[in-house]
Structure 1
Amino acid sequence: MPISVSDQQQKQTSKSKKPKPSEVPDVHHSETTTTVNSNQSESETKPSEQKSDENETNTLTIDGNTFNTQQLMQILAGMGLTSQSSKATRRPKSVENFCYILEKNLSISNDEQQMLRGLINLGFTFDDINSEESIAFLKKVVNEKIILILSKTSMENLSKPIQDEPYLYGIYIIDSSENNSFDSKFYRGSFSNMNNLCEQLKNDLLSFTYDLTNISSVSADYTGMSTLTYVQALKDIILETDEKQDLKKEMINFCREEYVDNIIQLEFIDEFEKNFQPSDAVEWYLRTETFLYKMMTRAFRELDPDILFKLRYFIQHLHGQFKSSVDMTVYRTVRIRKEVFKKMKNNQGGLLSFNEFLLVNKNQSRITPSPINQESKLVHFEIILGANVIRHDISNEILLTVGTIFRIDKIETNDKETFKVQRP
């Protein structure tokens, strides 16, 4: 069930969780291309001996010293390697990229609510979307992208502060007439029922998620290395083998807790628990409708050590499916914030890292269907992979492992800007 606004304080008190280490990049739109190159082999992470402690279940031994996740993150913070922390007081913490806001007056059945939760796990209901309480609540949502589901009347009276909300990503209307038209860049359509709305929302969420790619860049003189160093350190910690803990059980329990009462995702979790084999890791990751893809894209985008540590059983098996191959050029088109684009453009000759598992294409035909506005740039990456760059081949696409680092080799500006990047 979605959470009523009046229930938030009680819900937060009953289930306290740590704040996020970084904010998800805000994405909106314009046009550009980039080329990336890669020649050095992927360094292998050597497993270290694991020490167990009855009072600290999440521990790793590095260079003879045993740490839990909180201690490791404190060490990284002391080195100046943590990403931006969220200062806003959080509502119930989500493990996905999106949350939905549902108008309470809409007639939604339990089955329809479950259908919606299968797409977006965290939801809230509002009596009046334009109330001061509602606006104040929305301003505290800093780590999720907001999806509004409203009546035609509420849309017609939607206040400017809500339409200017930086984390708003889409507005969907439930109305008997599907021929409505509204002057809003966030308006995605009117639907006579929740089934039709969810069908459109499913496609839009995939497109939105594709556009949320987390990219870091460093200048040619290597200033600003903290984020890249943080990502590499976090990756090394996650990939440390752990022989003495049941990582699968730990992960399954965590996922069931996060998706409690979510019938659709709990069925996926049961399926994973019963049937998963390491050789299936890539196939599971590419099932974009499941809890794994939703949690993984969120966790890497936020660089959230808590979620990533809980998912390390799957991440280790997914990483284990990568291997070196032949030289080739691949492509990826994304929308990025203008400030990120400007930094990348100023860092020609420097380094660039995609801070997640990255799906790229063997041809240049891939287009991004999200609507364009003035808040972001459409950038095309031309990525030169050396033979030793580990990857997983999937038909016409290639999956690259998290934190693969490239050098920004060339920037071409035309109707769409292109970055050419390669392995340093």
Structure 2
Amino acid sequence: MDTKNTKPTASASNLSSLTINKSLLSLSTTAPSSSDCNVAAASTLMQRSTVLPRPIPRIMQNFILVWLDANIDETKEDFKRLLEHLRHVVASITTFTDAEECFKFLNEIKKEKIFMIVSTELGRQVASELQTIPQLESIYVFCDNISFHEEWTKTIPNVNGVYTDIKTICQALEIDREQCDRAMISISLNGLDPLFMYTQLLKEALLEIEDDDKIDIKALVDYCREQDDIPEDQITQVEREYRNHTPVWWYTAETFIGPMLNRGLRQMDVDIILKMGFFMRQLHNHISELHCEQQDSVPEKFQVFRGQGLSMEDFENIKKNETGLMSFNNFLSTSRNHKTSLENFARPATKNLNSVGILFIMNIDTNICAKSSTSFAEVSQVGYHQKQEEEILFTTHT
């Protein structure tokens, strides 16, 4: 039930080189194995059920959380309390007691990443088959005895860990959610890419519209309340406090704002783009203002870094496009801190067999930037994570 890297590569406009760090490439050509009895048990379990596929709710985030447990009982107070904890991280949680119904649902997920909580009994039976789900990002095994289940979970690459309480699962989910949002950006490798052109034209049109904060914020808030996967406390925060903070602060804050905007641009979701058009416009203008203010203090040439995961398909396309143009269609967060980008974002992405850990090394020439329409700004003083990440934020279509 739905409970709500390594030759320089020229980039577009102002990025004069890009290095993909191949040392981070972690691949496996052998599918994870499981014992014959586990596979047989899973097959038997799935043959017992003949259920219709459950409809997929409209998803505004970059991921979906699924919980598979044969003993789920949503009428029990203990279970309600567990769901309440999880909803502080993920508003929409889809629960299943039947493995076949769950697999049918998972196979319908094509664009979002899947985070999955499994009980030890069902988890052990279906874990090997879960590896066939390309969108599966992480599995969290929920049990009463860690030592008893750690051994078999080591054979399953996507298992994030074995947990005995929901709070530690929530902490792991917070980290994985940030990784997921960072990886889910739109990259164009061809100046004639339709998505690049359409979003660029849309951006230019949106920049010409005048704001009416009161109307625009209300429209966004009302729209978000109609969705299933946006936490109500975050919606209320935007409703009450939007004018108290800058657009850069909201974009970098731990709310739905940044991920939802980038999802809209990545998916060319017109509903999201129109509802967030005022924020996109204000964020672009804020970056441009900061860019002008910081011009005298920025070195003529400098490096920034971005660590993230990329799908195998995107990674292969980048390799084929060596010396070609490359554009990030979203607002792009980078850092001057090499270690932060490498250790906190690129390396962790290698744990997933379906992705490649990438460290983008971007050489910025401000003389080239001055001739382009792309602005960037140092936002560590005005962003949510003040003084922590040495963050340089680029506007869209960099």
**TM-score normalized with structure 2 length:** 0.72
Task: Tell me, in whole angstroms, the C-alpha distance in 2 between the residues paired with 1:149 and 1:315.
Answer: 34
1:117 corresponds in structure 2 to 87
Matches within 5 A, 1:14-413: 91-104=56-69, 105-106=71-72, 108-129=78-99, 131=100, 133-158=101-126, 160-179=128-147, 180-181=149-150, 182=153, 183-218=155-190, 224-242=192-210, 246-259=215-228, 265-277=231-243, 280-288=246-254, 290-323=255-288, 324=291, 325=295, 326=298, 327=300, 328-365=302-339, 366-367=341-342, 368=346, 369-372=348-351, 375-387=354-366, 388=370, 389-395=374-380, 396-404=390-398
Indicate if the aligned counterparts of 2:349 and 2:355 stay in contact, CA closer than 8 A: no
Summarize the Cα distance change of 1:364–1:159 in structure 2 as closer, same or farther, 3 Å threshold.
Answer: closer
Summarize the Cα distance change of 1:278–1:390 in structure 2 as closer, same or farther, 3 Å threshold.
Answer: farther
1:93 Cα deviation (Å)?
Answer: 0.7
Pick 1 or 2: higher relative contact order, CA cutoff 8 A, min separation 6. Answer: 1
> What amino acid is the match of 1:317?
Q
Secondary structure (helix, strand or coil) at the match of 1:385 reads strand
Gaps of 5+ in 1: 5-10, 12-30, 42-87, 405-424
Secondary structure (helix, strand or coil) at the match of 1:392 reads strand
Summarize the Cα distance change of 1:281–1:36 in structure 2 as closer, same or farther, 3 Å threshold.
Answer: farther
Task: Tell me, in whole angstroms, the C-alpha distance in 1 between the residues paired with 2:244 and 2:396.
Answer: 18
Indicate if the aligned counterparts of 1:281 and 1:321 stay in contact, CA closer than 8 A: yes
Task: Tell me, in whole angstroms, the C-alpha distance in 2 between the residues paired with 1:193 and 1:374.
Answer: 27
Summarize the Cα distance change of 1:37–1:158 in structure 2 as closer, same or farther, 3 Å threshold.
Answer: closer
Task: Tell me, in whole angstroms, the C-alpha distance in 1 between the residues paired with 2:218 and 2:261.
Answer: 18
1:198 Cα deviation (Å)?
Answer: 0.7
Secondary structure (helix, strand or coil) at the match of 1:275 reads helix
Indicate if the aligned counterparts of 1:333 and 1:380 stay in contact, CA closer than 8 A: yes
1:384 Cα deviation (Å)?
Answer: 2.9
- RMSD over aligned CA atoms reads 2.9
1:349 Cα deviation (Å)?
Answer: 3.4
Indicate if the aligned counterparts of 1:279 and 1:321 stay in contact, CA closer than 8 A: no
1:89 Cα deviation (Å)?
Answer: 10
After alignment, is 201-210 or 271-280 more displaced?
Answer: 271-280
Higher helix fraction (1 or 2): 2
Higher strand fraction (1 or 2): 1
Secondary structure (helix, strand or coil) at the match of 1:380 reads strand
Summarize the Cα distance change of 1:277–1:386 in structure 2 as closer, same or farther, 3 Å threshold.
Answer: farther
Gaps of 5+ in 2: 16-52, 381-389
**TM-score normalized with structure 1 length:** 0.68
- Count of residue pairs the alignment pairs up: 322
